Structure 1
Amino acid sequence: MARRKKDAPIDLADSHELSFGLIDALVCPPGKMQAFLRDKKTPGLRVRVTAARAKSYVFEGKLNRQTIRQTIGDVRAWTIEGAQQEANRLRVLLDSGTDPRELERDKRAAKAAMEAEAASRTVTVADVWPRYMAEGKPKRRSAWKPRYIADLNKAASLGGEPKKRGKGMTKPGHLAALMPLTLASIDQDVIREWYAYEGKTAPIQAARAVAMFSGFLGWCATKKDLRALVNKNAARASELGDVLPGVNKRRDALEIDQLPAWFSGTDKLRTRTAAAYLQALVLTGARREELAGLTWANVDFRWQKLTIADKVEATRVIPLTPYMAMLLAGLPRVNAFVFSSTMSASGRIAEPRAPHTDVLADAGIPHVSIHGLRRTFSLLGEAAGAPAGAIAQVMGHKPSAIAEGYRPRSIDALRPYLALIERFILDKAGIAFDATKAAPGGLRVVA
């Protein structure tokens, strides 16, 4: 057989013994997007050339009467012998009824899955925390309370920033050490070791950080892309009971016999605002931040009502009793907040523990927390004979069927009970107060 001249066109209708020279001379016929050169030695092996002169080895065969075409690779990367061996392998697969394209897709999918899993294993707590802060609110609430958001941010803070008050830099939060860890690496042993270190100096605060982190892991477990990476039980108190401090419910509260000395101690405070704030906590049973955030816009002297922030609902409305009205009317109107402060960045009272410590010291009363003043209202309300449901409504407790089958009362129906509690407290404190004669301005009249 005569050898083909170097410049002679290649007959693509016939098969040829492949050579680098033949492949190099292969061109796509004018007017076509691609063309194929068949190998005489290996059935099914083709050299494909495109109009752009790109050339690659491909395998072509039939499966279930359908043409199957599989790319082997670029002619510059494969030798002729290597392409022929790969074509023979694909032919064997085809003869056994296996589609080589499906095998290739499965192979690529498995590789992609392995790469994705490997990448997911590098996801850290710090990577996911911002998403948790944006999406992790409780299911039945529109958003986290501002105080809890601040606590989460503080716990996760890496520290090293200038303090807003005083000199120096901030310290890392209790969760800071967990931030660089991968989600997949966190188990009960990691939490135990972390708490053992954090709990040395602040066991109660560190235990609260455990609860925060448990909420974070529980939220991760609800997300399709994260649930395989986390052990949602790693920080659960039930699993860490041997290392976490025991839960001792606080019972601190003012006793009835301590009321005269305590009220007298508030009179000696340097600021009328702090004194009124502490007394208002006892007279309303409000939570610390609920009362601190009270604004003048939410004090209705005409209709004798207070609208305050609420932990369960957005707000709650309670009656404004006579003595309480006198306290508020006598406060200076420095800004929008009733209990204003020029010392805090927020413009309202921020840290009432210091003045309360002074009151307790002056009265000779053992430690009672700020929350203990809220508990004092509840106990004194019971002693005054007010219904449990009325006390709960004033305090903003979540409605329940306990006691009298709780159902919300109107403000008018609630007013006599809160007035009853106020009179009882003032009487036990030794305060002679006549609502019809009292003039706004003074805190109280002591008998």
Structure 2
Amino acid sequence: MAKLKLTAGRVRAFTCPADKPQAFLWDADVNGLAVRATLGAKAYIYQGRLNGKSLRVTIGDVNVWSLEEYREPKTGKVITPGARPEARRLQALIDQGRDPREVKAEVTAADIAKREKTKQANTPALEAWQAYIKARASKWSERHKADHETMSREGGQKIKRGRREGMPDKKEPGILRPLLELPLSSITRDAVAGWLEQQAYRPTRARLAVSLLGTFLNWCSDRPEYRDQVNPDACTRMKKDLPKPQAKDDCLQREQVKLWFHHVQRISNPIQATYLQCLLLTGARRNEMAALQWEDVDLTWNTLKIRDKVEGERIIPLTPYVKSLIDGLKPARVVLLHSDDALKRSPFVFASATSTSGHITEPRIAHNQALKNAGLPALSLHGLRRSFGTLAEWVECPAGVVAQIMGHKPTAIAEKHYRRRSIDLLRVWHVKIESWILEQAGIEQQKEETLKLKKSTAA
């Protein structure tokens, strides 16, 4: 093939014949360098041989590349890249037995990796946190997932339920949000320690946050995309710097039972009133009772199937008064669901037409108002569960029976391995507990299980 010394003029004048797909003008100075012209485009190329095989590499557009390299005189910075120096570099790679195409791919990959690493180094850890939730959420309970979302929320959302007097009307950012807005590499032991100093006023929440954060960092350390940025020991031994949380002891006392029932039964919403009484008389956790479905209520054999957050589910007796309360909710089974505008039968005993879950979610407002009207001290919904366990001691009920009804894991060896109480045995004690509590409340218990509140002297 004919060769000419390439010049700017010859390159500019060279065109592809109309009857050919491409044409080449080869340089006489640098072996393998040529201008390739196609219809509407021209570029410098290099062609050589590696291991007996021909290879061709495109250097670049003739409008971008010059034949020779031009640099800034003072700084030495390349102003215009040169095709001839680039062709010589490519030939040098071939002389070393390296394929220029593979070298280019390696350089490109390294450049992409460097830019990605720089991007990740400046990306908030919140992005990895969201990826972590997405990857692990299928193995978590709804409560555990909600904890992760609540602790990382942005804040500023309007509080719709459970707002107490004096509280702001908007939600605060999640407790972990300040840390998760930092890059992963910046979540160090010092950063976590400084954050903990600001969270010491709520030790229980901070302890949970440290636990969740530590698990998240360990997950990141096992992921190749985060491994080089994360400090997996950032949370190690941090909980010891927090004050120990104070155990809550709110509990309904014997002399307060009558007043509590009197005002709870006056709550205008029968679903809320029934729900609160069932919490006290079963010792169930608030979410376990809220999610109770009609299919879990056996009115024939008088049992309740509780969806236990620890054991999966447990069967407890359906005592006479609780049965009468639940049976009275049947007319309220038809509620307006969110799925469409049609009236549908709710599967939940304590149904709600406004909550996204379909069941009662926020009875605390009504409960707190009832406590205020009764002049009783503050009592949480979990305090009702605590009250059941405490009041059960008045009938000298075995601790193991109470624990089984409430869904506590057995602690003693005998309880773990040698006690398998039947539902009938649980029923004997559970009915005694209920009967005693109702007696303190002044609620008449008739043989035909028609239970009503005694007329108070105030009435």
Q: What TM-score do you get using the length of structure 2 for normalisation? A: 0.73
Alignment counterpart, residue 427 of structure 2, candidates 402, 405, 418: 418
Determine the C-alpha separation between the residues in 2 that align with 1:372 and 1:155.
24
CA deviation after TM superposition for structure 1 residue 291, in Å: 1.7
Specify which of 18, 29, 41 is matched with residue 41 of structure 1: 29
Distance 1:407 1:53, change over 3 A: farther
Give the secondary-structure state (helix, strand or coil) at the position aligned to 1:76: coil
Q: CA deviation at 1:322?
A: 2.9
Match of 1:156 among 131, 152, 156: 152
| Structure 2 match to 1:101 | 101
Match of 1:354 in 2: 368
2:67 is aligned to 80
Equivalent position SS for 1:47: strand
RMSD, aligned CA: 4.2
Q: Decide whether aligned partners of structure 1 residues 323 and 376 sit closer, same or farther in structure 2, where only a CA change above 3 A counts.
A: same
Is 1:403 the counterpart of 2:417 in the alignment?
no
Identify unmatched segments of 5+ residues in structure 2.
69-81, 334-345
> What's the CA shift for 1:109?
1.3
Query: Counterpart of 2:43?
Result: 56
**Aligned partners of 1:343 and 1:78: how far apart in 2?**
68
Q: Is the alpha carbon distance of 1:26 and 1:277 closer, same or farther for their aligned partners in structure 2, counting shifts above 3 Å?
A: closer
> What residue number does 2:337 align with?
none
Question: What is the CA distance between 1:320 and its match in structure 2?
Answer: 0.8
**How far apart, CA to CA, are the structure 2 residues paired with 1:31 and 1:341?**
79
1:264-290 Cα distance to aligned partner (Å, 9 max, x none): 332332435677655533442311221
CA shift for structure 1 position 180: 2.9
Judged with a 3 Å threshold, the aligned counterparts in structure 2 of structure 1 residues 381 and 72 are, in CA distance, closer, same or farther, namely: same
Cα distance in structure 1, aligned partners of 2:433 and 2:452: 20
CA distance in 1, matches of 2:300, 2:320: 12
User: Is the contact between residue 315 and residue 423 of structure 2 (CA under 8 Å) also seen in structure 1?
Assistant: no
Alignment check: 8 A CA contact 2:121 2:185 kept = yes
User: How far apart are 1:186 and its partner, in Å?
Assistant: 1.6
Cα 1:378/1:221, change in 2 over 3 Å: farther
Within 1, Cα distance between the matches of 2:428 and 2:372?
28
Aligned counterparts of 2:209 and 2:378: Cα–Cα separation in 1? 25
Deviations 1:85-115 (A, max 9, x none): 3323333332233333322222111111101
2:262 corresponds to:
268
**1:295-354: per-residue Cα shift (whole Å, max 9, x none)?**
555433232122333214664432212343345456795456656789999773621763
Match of 2:192 in 1: 191
Residue type of the partner of 1:350? P
Count the aligned residue pairs. Answer: 416
| Contact preservation (8 Å) 1:330, 1:442 | no
Tell me how far 1:157 sits from its aligned partner.
2.9
Q: Which amino acid aligns with 2:303?
A: K
Question: Match for 1:243: what amino acid?
Answer: D
What's the secondary structure of 1:137's corresponding residue? helix
Quote the Cα distance in structure 2 between the aligned partners of 1:221 and 1:415: 52
Aligned mate of 1:239, from 229, 237, 240: 237
Instruction: Tell me the distance in 1 between the aligned counterparts of 2:243 and 2:66.
Output: 71
Alpha carbons of structure 1 residues 277 and 53: separation in structure 2 relative to 1, 3 Å: closer
Residue 233 to residue 282, structure 1, CA distance change in 2 (3 Å): farther
Tell me the percent identity: 35
Q: For 1:49, what is the secondary structure of its paired residue?
A: strand
Quote the Cα distance in structure 2 between the aligned partners of 1:162 and 1:367.
25
For the residue of structure 1 that corresponds to 2:43, the secondary structure is: strand
CA distance in 1, matches of 2:353, 2:87: 84
Matched residue, 1:281: 279
**Alpha-carbon distance in structure 2 between the residues aligned to 1:75 and 1:408:** 89
